């Protein structure tokens, strides 16, 4: 089965729906609000004058929020609908960002540009089968001394929902509605792969990156899974037998300054 085409079709539909959702709240972004969350802002620090490659950028809200902070951003996503909207938002806001419509594995095999920072966040690696290739794309795109900043949903959520925690050759193929509030009746068929934290960190270390930060977080900024409850001032949490389930993890990985 051609899982890449299956997922691309789903994301073409989701990009259209997400753009009109209150979940993504494009109007607030256009009015000046950043779409970035505290976790990634703290990890990234000042991005002024930094070149940033944003992998799986969707329709560019985070990419353009980084551009608003003075970064020179290149976003990559395989959805034409998403990239078309990202370009429109860049024109509307007059922000300096470049958007490339490509599968990230293909992008990685041809990209020769080097960046200070590679960034990816919230709902990215479950769409990728091969994390070795993903990590190679990241390492090759970093300048010497450059940093990868990654904030992702914790794989324990998959386990909680009855999916594997550990990597599998074959994806889970499911038909489900997306996570935005305006799309609870339409469904798409998608293929996703589980990736344990060990697999993620090993993939990054095997391409020569040094892990400089790793953390796990009990709160998610997004209400996008069953059973989450709001905790004012913190975001959303999930309790299992009264205890907080880890909902996010964050990684910073650095390329050696002499490479
Ligand atoms: C959950 S969204 C990422 C959300 C992101 N944090 C944001 O800015 O909203 C996942 C994105 O990955 C993209 N995607 C999935 N598989 C991809 C692939 N193989 N190559 C490039 N983009 C991909 C989808 O089009 C979608 O925009």
CA distance 176 to 9: 14
Contact 99, 63 (CB under 8 A): yes
**pLDDT score of 160:** 87
Contact 151, 250 (CB under 8 A): yes
Interatomic CA distance for residues 31 and 114, integer angstroms? 32
**Residue tagged 């999930």 (tokens):** 238
Select from 14, 18, 56 the residue to mutate for testing ligand 1; criterion: most ligand atoms less than 8 Å from CB.
56
pLDDT at position 258:
81
124 lines ligand 1 (CB under 6 A): yes
- Contact between 151 and 39 (Cβ < 8 Å): yes
Tell me, what's the pLDDT at 202?
98
CA distance 83 to 134: 20
Per-residue confidence (pLDDT) for residue 1, from 0 to 100? 87
CA nearest to 200, candidates 245, 249, 234: 249
The Å distance, Cα 214 to ligand 1 centre, comes to 22
pLDDT at 185: 75
Q: Does the CB atom of residue 103 touch ligand 1 within 6 A?
A: yes
Looking at residue 182, its pLDDT comes to 81
Judge whether 257 and 239 are in contact, CB under 8 Å: no
In tens digits, what is the pLDDT along the chain, a chain of 259 residues? 899 999 999 999 999 999 999 999 999 999 999 999 999 999 999 999 999 999 999 999 999 999 999 999 999 999 999 999 999 999 999 999 999 999 999 999 999 999 999 999 999 999 999 999 999 999 999 999 999 999 999 999 989 889 999 999 999 999 989 988 887 778 999 999 999 999 999 999 999 999 999 999 999 999 989 899 999 999 999 999 999 999 999 999 999 998 7
Per-residue pLDDT, 186? 87
Does residue 21 have its Cβ closer than 6 Å to ligand 1?
A: no
Closest CA to 247 of 216, 223, 213, 224: 216
Atom 15 in ligand 1: which residue has the minimum CA distance? Answer: 127
How far apart are the C-alpha atoms of 103 and 43, rounded to whole Å?
26
Residue 246 Cα to ligand 1 midpoint, Å, equals 22
Who contacts 175 (Cβ-Cβ below 8 Å, separation ≥6)?
187, 188, 189, 190
Q: Is the CB of 158 under 6 A from ligand 1?
A: no
77 lines ligand 1 (CB under 6 A): yes
Q: What is the Å distance from ligand 1's center to 58 Cα?
A: 5
Class for domain 3-29+47-254, per CATH?
Answer: alpha beta
């Amino acid at each position: 089965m051609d899982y890449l085409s299956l997922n691309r079709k789903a994301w073409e539909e989701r990009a259209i729906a997400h753009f009109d959702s209150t979940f993504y709240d494009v109007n607030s972004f256009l009015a000046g609000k950043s779409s970035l969350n505290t976790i990634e802002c703290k990890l990234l620090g000042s991005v002024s004058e930094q070149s940033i490659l944003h992998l799986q950028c969707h329709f560019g809200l985070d990419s353009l929020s980084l551009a608003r902070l003075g970064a020179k951003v290149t976003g990559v996503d395989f959805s034409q609908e998403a990239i078309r909207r990202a370009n429109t938002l860049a024109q509307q806001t007059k922000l300096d960002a470049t958007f490339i419509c490509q599968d990230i594995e293909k992008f990685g095999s041809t990209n020769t540009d080097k960046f200070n920072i590679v960034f990816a966040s919230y709902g990215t690696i479950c769409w990728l089968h091969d994390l070795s290739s993903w990590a190679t794309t990241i390492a090759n795109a970093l300048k010497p001394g450059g940093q990868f900043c990654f904030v992702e949903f914790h794989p324990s959520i998959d386990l909680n929902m009855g999916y594997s925690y550990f990597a599998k050759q074959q994806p889970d193929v499911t038909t489900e509605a997306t996570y935005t509030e305006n799309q609870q009746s339409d469904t798409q068929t998608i293929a996703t792969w589980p990736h344990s934290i060990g697999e993620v960190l090993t993939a990054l270390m095997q391409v020569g990156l040094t892990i400089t930060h790793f953390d796990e977080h009990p709160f998610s900024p997004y209400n996008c899974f069953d059973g989450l409850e709001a905790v004012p001032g913190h975001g959303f949490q999930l309790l299992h037998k009264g205890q907080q389930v880890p909902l996010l993890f964050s990684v910073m990985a650095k390329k050696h300054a002499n490479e």
